Amino acid sequence: MRGRNAAGLLLGALIGLAPTAQAAGSWVAQAPSVRAATVGRETASEALTPPAGTAGRIREVRWRFRTPPGQGGHARLCHPAGCMTLPTERGRSTALAGLPAGEPLRFRFSPTPGQAPVSVEGLQVIVNFQ
């Protein structure tokens, strides 16, 4: 009987800890295309929203988007607590690490001086969190 009581207590303790344990996870979001037309003025994408109840802290963000060849412009990915510059159309970064994973992100684009308006398509993020 003692073995059952000890096992029951151990199981109860583990179950009691389960709600406080933070499991690692990820979320993926996409946004419609945007057209950045004014130099020096960013055009923001629609919000890339995590699923309801997402908790934890960002570990890494992966992104991708497409522009016509030779029309990259300036690109940033923004969290309510800060932004990071996107040097390429596809990549990954830990620049937003530590920020809350349950907040929406937005892409922000602007053309470079002398550049025609740029259409940006295929906007996607993958947020890995812990």
- Is the pTM higher than 0.75? The answer reads yes
**pLDDT tens digit sequence for 25-81:** 999 999 999 999 999 899 999 999 999 999 999 999 999 999 999 888 899 999 999
Nearest to 36 by CA among 76, 95, 81, 64: 76
HSE, CB side, 13 Å, CA atoms: give it for residue 62.
Answer: 7
When comparing pLDDT for 2 and 95, which is higher? 95
Q: What is the pLDDT of residue 20?
A: 39
Residue that has been written with the tokens 């996409």 in this structure: 30
Amino acid 70: pLDDT:
83
Q: Which amino acid is at 124?
A: Q
Please identify, in words, the CATH class of the domain defined by 23-129. Answer: mainly beta
> CA-CA distance, 26 to 38, in Å (whole number)?
34
Q: How does pLDDT run across 7-24, given as a tens digit for each residue? A: 444 334 433 433 434 568
pLDDT of residue 6: 44
Q: Please report the pLDDT score of residue 2 as a whole number.
A: 52
Highest-confidence segment of 68-77, 92-101, 111-120: 92-101
